[in-house]
Amino acid sequence: MVTKKRGLHYERKSNWGIFYLATLLVFLNFWSSVTTIPLYVGFLGGRDFHAGIQGTLFFFGAVVFRFYLGPLSDRKGRKLILLVGAFAFATTPLLLLVFQTVNSVILLRLYQAVGLAAYFAAGPAFVGDAAPFQRLGTYMGIYRLIVAVGLLVGPALALEIIGRVGYDAWFWTSFVLGSLAFLLLLVIDSPEPGKVSDDNLIHSGKNILKDGDNREIYMAIALFSICSGIVFTFVPVFLESVVGMENPGIFFTVYSLAGIVASITVGALLDRLSPRRMMMTLGVGYGLGLVFIYPLSEFFPGILLAAVVMGAGFSGTMVGLTTSLIKRIEKERRGVAVSLQENTIDVFMAAGSFVFPAMISLMGYGVSFSAIGIFLMGMMGLSVLQRRKKQKFNHQTEDL
């Protein structure tokens, strides 16, 4: 009886409150670094090349580190890996205060990539392990909401402090926020790890991908990641250089706010309605936003409408895909499954950013955005047709 009671500590509201608060502090730290460190490289005298290479090392390093940290979270438990991630994010700004050269910053970004790999792998897996199965959508929606709030608040807070009192003040602030997150995570309760049959990301990932439904989820994640890479990289350029908008950041403010609302709403509805239909509706909305962003750019409310539709579509769909994946994967492989998901996101976001410039040079922004949106909706429609065909085949087989 005592063991059972102790084992349920992680379900308490206080435990979830501490976890979510720590996660918010981590994501404030993460999103602010994405925005401020490229600027800091320039402040130290670095060129565009140095700003680009630090970002490349950061995200590529996270992909590599997940090959170890994902399986490790399955073997050792989520709490350890969450602490590793929080520690890396907390100590990086302190190290930036000590080593203030361009080359040092580039190397420290590789160190900080440990935090990105660890927390992004263990966070959703912790939610999947600790949340009641019948309410997983709600808990995952709150987690994704916190990710969006970090994006909305972190960069703005960092730039405000830097503008008023300088980079050193922000690094001290970031260190305090990260340290508080680490201390909070020390006191959370986490489910015990299960027995793991294989501890290799590639081998375990192959086993996960043998399931056709799992492959379909990862393919959808890849598709939306390509689109997201294009939107975050090229929509600001399009709005500034083609549309002439003075502050393209307005688009992403509205985009983030719509994502926040969608995350919590979709998360709750996932526990009651058909996840597939919801994701299909939101995904079509995202695709239509891409198709019409060029004609809608003729007037300001149209841009805001596109931001709302696309922000809600992307965040809501990713909540649904992550929740569906977590529900399908046994506890002993969730760390691997989430690591595979995050690597898919990083790789295909980079792929979208790499391919789209060639499309722009051939077809221009309007046709290129529309082509991507139509491709997204076409692939979603093809997925529906294939599933119906599969269900019809299974039904005929059962009749035999």
| Banded model confidence at residue 198, pLDDT cuts 50, 70, 90 | low
pLDDT of residue 4: 39
Direct distance between the N- and C-terminal alpha carbons of the chain, in angstroms, rounded to an integer: 49
Structural domain spans, the chain: 7-190, 204-399
Please state the rounded mean pLDDT for residues 90-99: 94
| Banded model confidence at residue 27, pLDDT cuts 50, 70, 90 | very high
**pLDDT of residue 19 exceeding 80:** yes
pLDDT of residue 1: 32
Of 15-24, 37-46, 194-203, 288-297, the range with the lowest mean pLDDT is 194-203
Instruction: Report the largest interatomic distance among the alpha carbons of the chain, rounded to a whole angstrom.
Output: 75
Cα distance between residue 133 and residue 327, in whole Å: 8
pLDDT of residue 3: 36
**pLDDT of residue 64 exceeding 50:** yes
| Banded model confidence at residue 10, pLDDT cuts 50, 70, 90 | low
pLDDT digits (tens, 9 = 90+) for 335-366: 888 888 888 988 888 788 778 888 888 998 88
Please state the rounded mean pLDDT for residues 376-396: 73
% of the chain exceeding 70 in pLDDT: 91
**pLDDT of residue 200 exceeding 70:** no
Class of domain 7-190: mainly alpha
Please state the rounded mean pLDDT for residues 280-305: 88
**pLDDT of residue 384 exceeding 80:** no
**pLDDT of residue 18 exceeding 90:** yes
pLDDT of residue 48: 67
Higher pLDDT, 272 or 221: 221
pLDDT digits (tens, 9 = 90+) for 164-193: 999 999 999 999 999 999 999 999 988 877
Please state the rounded mean pLDDT for residues 322-330: 86
Structural tokens at position 289: 């936003």
% of the chain exceeding 90 in pLDDT: 28
Structural tokens at position 384: 């529906």
pLDDT digits (tens, 9 = 90+) for 67-77: 888 888 888 88
Task: Just give the CATH number of 204-399.
Answer: 1.20.1250.20
Please state the rounded mean pLDDT for residues 311-320: 90
* 7-190 shares its CATH topology with 204-399: yes
pLDDT of residue 390: 64
The pTM assigned to this predicted structure is: 0.78
Neighbours of 66 (CB within 10 A): 29
Cα distance between residue 210 and residue 36, in whole Å: 41
- Three-state SS letters, the chain: CHHHHHHCHHHCHHHHHHHHHHHHHHHHHHHHHHHHHHHHHHHCCCCHHHHHHHHHHHHHHHHHHHHHHHHHHHHHCHHHHHHHHHHHHHHHHHHHHHCCCHHHHHHHHHHHHHHHHHHHHHHHHHHHHHCCHHHHHHHHHHHHHHHHHHHHHHHHHHHHHHHHHCHHHHHHHHHHHHHHHHHHHHCCCCCCCCCCCCCCHHHHHHHHHCCHHHHHHHHHHHHHHHHHHHHHHHHHHHHHHHHCCCCCHHHHHHHHHHHHHHHHHHHHHHCCCCHHHHHHHHHHHHHHHHHHHHHHCCCHHHHHHHHHHHHHHHHHHHHHHHHHHHHHCCHHHHHHHHHHHHHHHHHHHHHHHHHHHHHHHHHHHHHHHHHHHHHHHHHHHHHHHHHHHHHHHHHHHHHC
To the nearest whole number, what is the mean pLDDT of the chain?
Answer: 84
pLDDT of residue 187: 93
Pair 28, 157: CB distance under 8 Å:
yes
Higher pLDDT, 12 or 224: 224
**pLDDT of residue 205 exceeding 80:** no
